[in-house]
A and B are shown apart, each in its own frame.
Chain A
Amino acid sequence: MENKAPIVEVRHVSKCYHRGSQIIPVLQDITFDIGDGEFLALMGPSGSGKSTLLNLIAGIDKVDAGTITVGGIDITTLSEMDLARWRSVNVGFIFQFYNLIPVLTAFENVELPLLLTSLSKAERRAHVEMALRVVNLLDRMDHYPKQLSGGQQQRVAIARAIVTDPTILVADEPTGDLDRVSTGEIMELMDTLNTESGKTIIMVTHDPRAARKAHHIRNLDKGVLDSDAHP
Chain B
Amino acid sequence: MHILKILFKNAFRHKLRTALTILSITIAILAFSLLRTVISAWYAGVDASSASRLVTRNAVSLIFTLPLSYEEKIRQTEGVRIVSYGNWFGGIYIDEKNFFANFAVDPKTYLDLYPEFMLTGEEKNAFLRDRKSFVAGRKLAEKYGWKIGDIITLRGTIYPGNWEFVMRGIYRGRDETTDESQFFFHWDYLNETLKKTAPERADQIGWYMIGVTNPDLATEVAERIDRTFKNSIAETLTETEKAFQLGFVSMSNAIITAIRLVSLVVIVIILAVVANTMVMTSRERIGEYAIFKTLGFGGWRIAGLIVGESLVITMTGCAIGVALTFPTAKLFGHTMGTYFPVFNVGNDTIGYAIVSSVLVGILAAIIPTYRAIKIPIAEGLRSIG
Q: Which residues of A does B touch, CB under 8 Å?
A: 51-52, 55, 58, 60-61, 80-81, 84-89, 91, 93, 95-97, 99, 101-104, 107-108, 111-113, 115-116, 160, 177
Extra pairs beyond A89-B296, A103-B13 (14, CB < 8 Å): A51-B378, A60-B294, A60-B381, A85-B296, A87-B295, A88-B296, A95-B381, A96-B385, A101-B6, A104-B1, A111-B1, A112-B292, A115-B3, A116-B301
A101 and B294 in contact, given A60-B377, A60-B378, A111-B1 (Cβ under 8 angstroms)? no
**Does A87 contact B294, Cβ atoms closer than 8 Å?**
yes
Q: How far apart sit A160 and B291, CA to CA, in the bound complex (Å)?
A: 12
Q: How far apart sit A52 and B378, CA to CA, in the bound complex (Å)?
A: 8
**Does A93 contact B295, Cβ atoms closer than 8 Å?**
yes
Contact residues of B: prevailing secondary structure? helix
Picked from A85, A97, A107, the residue with its CB within 8 Å of the CB of B385 is A97
**Does A99 contact B293, Cβ atoms closer than 8 Å?**
no
Q: Which residues of B does A touch, CB under 8 Å?
A: 1, 3, 5-6, 9-10, 13, 287-288, 291-299, 301, 376-378, 381, 384-385
Q: How far apart sit A88 and B297, CA to CA, in the bound complex (Å)?
A: 8
Q: How far apart sit A210 and B27, CA to CA, in the bound complex (Å)?
A: 57
B10 partner residues in chain A, CB cutoff 8 A: 103
Q: How far apart sit A58 and B295, CA to CA, in the bound complex (Å)?
A: 11
Q: Residue on A with the closest CB to B377?
A: A60
Picked from B6, B293, B377, the residue with its CB within 8 Å of the CB of A104 is B6
Q: How far is the CB of B2 from chain A (nearest CB, A)?
A: 8
Picked from B292, B298, B376, B381, the residue with its CB within 8 Å of the CB of A85 is B298
Q: How far apart sit A116 and B297, CA to CA, in the bound complex (Å)?
A: 7
A51 partner residues in chain B, CB cutoff 8 A: 378
Q: How far apart sit A60 and B301, CA to CA, in the bound complex (Å)?
A: 17
Q: Residue on A with the closest CB to B3?
A: A115
Q: How far is the CB of B143 from chain A (nearest CB, A)?
A: 53
B294 partner residues in chain A, CB cutoff 8 A: 58, 60, 87, 91, 93
Q: How far apart sit A89 and B298, CA to CA, in the bound complex (Å)?
A: 13
Q: How far apart sit A102 and B6, CA to CA, in the bound complex (Å)?
A: 11
Q: How far apart sit A147 and B378, CA to CA, in the bound complex (Å)?
A: 28
**Does B298 contact A113, Cβ atoms closer than 8 Å?**
no
Q: How far is the CB of B376 from chain A (nearest CB, A)?
A: 7
**Does A116 contact B1, Cβ atoms closer than 8 Å?**
no
**Does A104 contact B295, Cβ atoms closer than 8 Å?**
no
Q: How far apart sit A160 and B292, CA to CA, in the bound complex (Å)?
A: 12
Q: By CB atoms of chain A within 10 A, which of B295, B301, B378 has the most?
A: B295
A96 partner residues in chain B, CB cutoff 8 A: 385
Q: How far is the CB of A151 from chain B (nearest CB, A)?
A: 16
